[in-house]
Structure 1
Amino acid sequence: MTARALLVRGLIAGLLAGVATFLVAHQVGEPPVETAISLEESSAHHSGATAGAHSHDSEEAVVSRETQRTWGLLTGTLTVGTALGGLVALGSALVAGRVGRLRPTAATAVVALTGFTTVAFVPFLKYPANPPGVGTAETIGARTEQYFGFLLVSLVTGILALVLAGQVWPRFGTWGAVVMGVAAYVVVTSVAATLMPGPDAVGSFPADTLWAFRRGSLLTLVTLWAGIGVVLSGLVGRLEKHETAKSQRRALAASL
């Protein structure tokens, strides 16, 4: 099984996951975004601070909201999904046979789960997504740096934890390797989360809208990563069975 074969299947899986992600983001994520924008516009109107609001009265938007929530959103999810699918496939090719002697199908599932945990879920727990109207423009730069800084810590720690699990697997077995890898990741990311600044306060922003937005954001992330993991694992599993059957036929022919 070549890396090229895995990459092609990863791109296909990512593309399909991108379509599913668009549907979830459009149906679940966009409604609270619209509500948040309306609240922001209303607040800006009542305070007299029209600069920076999502209004078209004084300045025409470069990309309309209709385009953003349809074709723009679809383009984004397809692009990100395809790229992530390719990365997961390449990561699976690297891990297979090297970390705990994982077979390609199992390696794909492990890499997808590790990617979701380190890149999406844990950073979301520390710095959850905020809708328009939460936070100030002056803190955007600092908030972005904090988020990506913690994401980098989480990703690097996850990779090292996976390597650690592979190193201790021959001595401690699968269960011991998993426990040690997870424990190392939890300890390091917990310390980092404690030392790094907390997220911005949401102020008087409506709790129900905030919760709906964050729930939609998390569900979108889950759809993307689960779609890649499930579809790619299925495609790799079929390829693995095909190549195993081919090897068995060759071995049988050689023995005759």
Structure 2
Amino acid sequence: MPIEWIDCKPISLVWFSWREPLLYVLFTPWLLSLFAGLLITALTVVLSIRLSWLNRSLIVISAVLSVNIIYSPLATQWLSVWLSSQLPQTFERAEDAPRPVAVLLGRGAKIGRATSRKAAQLLNDHKVEAVYVSGDRLSTAQRVVKLGAPAERVAGDSCARTTWQNATRTNAWLQRNHPEAPVLLITDPWQLPRAAHAFAGQGLKVMPMAISPQLNSRTRNRLALRETAGTLLYRLQGRM
């Protein structure tokens, strides 16, 4: 039996046209430093006309140096701890309750390999009822099957482009196939808090599970920065 897979053209979102350029600036130290320097320069000129050029220069230099701190390993650690503190309350499953469905989210090849291995292990050990892969390539679901999972218990889609769409599409599939099952949400520790809130916002019972493969310091920093920005945006939108 083949994998149940929905392969569709992703929904176009207007705000994606400015989200990616903003993230590019955030992930490029010299661009963010330049932007911060120009902004602080403008503010000091407008608000502090009486300051000497030396003092204005010191303010600008201090601001640029402060901005660059966010790319340090210490900042990655601080942001990671803060993100972990945003996890919602975990659903406690009773022994006689339905087994959960493991849900994987599209997060790139390296994280995808780690989460699919874990999902296959859980399915082979009869600890989850099924595996659903949202917003990723079919190859991730196929990897779960290659690791020994029955194809009829693996499904997914390549349609979701955001974490909120991951939650809504997964919820729609669960209501048709496993309406009473809780969600064992498997993703990296940086995305997990925001994703858990998104899934809980669909009325799902969420059991978060963090999987963190070996990543270099730059990748860890990018994930921490991206998810911090995403978490703050979710708070502004009332989703957390």
**Which has the higher Rg, Structure 1 or Structure 2?**
1
The TM-score with structure 1 as length reference comes to 0.27
Higher helix share: 1
Higher strand share: 2
The TM-score with structure 2 as length reference comes to 0.28
